[in-house]
C-alpha cells in the first residue's frame, strides 16, 4: 500500500510541478484611464514571435467604446509590407478589473479568447507594454512611431519587467 501511495504521489507531483513553477506575468504597474486608453489606434512596435503574426507588418489595434461597457477591438496588419493586403480581426473586449482597467479579455471569432494585461504605460498615454498573464506573449505599442532612443527605452522597460527582449520582433510599423 505504501509503495502504491508513493507512486501515486510521485505522479501527482510530476503533473503539478510544471504548473507550480510556470512563470506568470507581473501585475500591471498602475491603473489605466479607460476613456484615454481604450479609444483610438495604437501602433504595434514590437512583439514576441507567434505563428499567427508571421508575415504581418504595420500592425495596429484600434479600441472604441461598445455597448454595455464593453470595448470593441480591431486588430490589423499588412501582409509582408506596409502597402500589402490588410488583414484584420474584430474582437469584443471586457475589462476584467473595473477601477484599475488594466486587464482586458478579448473574445475573437472561432472561440478564441486572449487576456491582455497593460503592464505599464506612459502617463500621457503615448505608449504601453502589454502581455498575457501566462508570460508567453508581449507587445509594445505606441501612438506614433518612436525614435530609436524611445524604442530602446521601451525595450529596456520590457526587460525590467522580466521579459527576454532578445526574442522581440520589430515588424515595419504603420506610418500614416
Return the CATH number at 135.
2.40.128.20
Report the share of the chain in percent with pLDDT over 70: 86
How confident is residue 135, by pLDDT bands cut at 50, 70 and 90?
A: confident
Q: Is residue 9 part of a domain?
A: no
Look at residues 19, 86, 34 and name the one whose alpha carbon lies nearest to residue 56: 86
94 burial (CB, 10 Å; 0-12 / 13-18 / 19+) is middle
On the question of pLDDT at 20 being above 60, the answer is no
Q: Is residue 70 part of a domain?
A: yes
On the question of pLDDT at 17 being above 70, the answer is no
Q: Is residue 156 part of a domain?
A: yes
Residue 115 structural domain: 25-167
Average pLDDT of span 137-164: 96
How many helices (H) and strands (E) would you count in the chain?
3, 8
Q: Is residue 174 part of a domain?
A: no
Q: Are the CB atoms for 78 and 84 separated by under 8 Å? A: yes
Residue 23 pLDDT = 64
Total tally of structural domains belonging to the chain: 1
Look at residues 107, 160, 122 and name the one whose alpha carbon lies nearest to residue 138: 160
Alpha carbon dihedral 5, 7, 13, 14, in 10-degree steps, equals: -160
Average pLDDT of span 67-90: 93
Higher pLDDT, 134 or 61: 61
Q: What is the mean pLDDT of the chain?
A: 86
Q: Is residue 73 part of a domain?
A: yes
Q: Is residue 153 part of a domain?
A: yes
Q: Is residue 4 part of a domain?
A: no
On the question of pLDDT at 5 being above 80, the answer is no
Kindly state the cell numbers that stand for 80: 509582408
- What is the pTM assigned to this prediction? 0.84
The residues, any chain, with a CB within 8 Å of residue 24's CB and separated by 6 or more, are 133, 134, 135
Buried b (16+ CB within 10 A) or exposed e, 71-87: bbbebbbbeeeeeeeee
Q: Is residue 108 part of a domain?
A: yes
Q: 24-38, 88-102, 149-163: which has the minimum mean pLDDT?
A: 24-38
Q: How far is residue 113 from each of residues 35, 85, 87, measured CA to CA in Å?
A: 23, 25, 18
Amino acid at each position: 500500500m505504501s509503495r502504491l501511495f508513493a507512486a501515486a504521489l510521485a505522479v501527482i507531483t510530476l503533473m503539478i510541478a510544471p504548473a507550480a513553477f510556470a512563470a506568470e506575468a507581473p501585475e500591471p504597474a498602475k491603473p489605466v484611464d479607460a476613456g484615454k486608453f481604450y479609444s483610438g489606434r495604437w501602433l504595434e512596435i514590437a512583439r514576441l514571435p507567434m505563428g499567427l503574426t508571421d508575415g504581418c507588418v504595420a500592425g495596429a489595434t484600434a479600441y472604441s467604446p461598445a455597448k454595455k461597457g464593453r470595448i470593441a477591438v480591431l486588430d490589423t496588419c499588412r501582409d509582408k509590407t506596409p502597402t500589402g493586403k490588410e488583414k484584420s480581426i474584430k474582437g469584443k473586449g471586457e475589462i476584467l478589473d473595473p477601477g484599475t482597467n488594466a486587464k482586458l479579455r478579448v473574445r475573437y471569432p472561432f472561440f478564441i479568447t486572449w487576456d491582455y494585461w497593460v503592464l505599464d504605460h506612459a502617463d500621457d498615454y503615448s505608449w504601453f507594454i502589454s502581455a498575457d498573464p501566462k508570460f508567453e506573449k508581449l507587445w509594445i505599442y505606441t501612438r506614433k512611431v518612436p525614435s530609436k532612443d524611445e524604442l530602446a527605452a521601451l525595450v529596456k522597460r520590457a526587460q525590467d519587467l522580466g521579459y527576454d527582449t532578445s526574442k522581440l520582433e520589430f515588424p515595419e510599423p504603420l506610418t500614416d
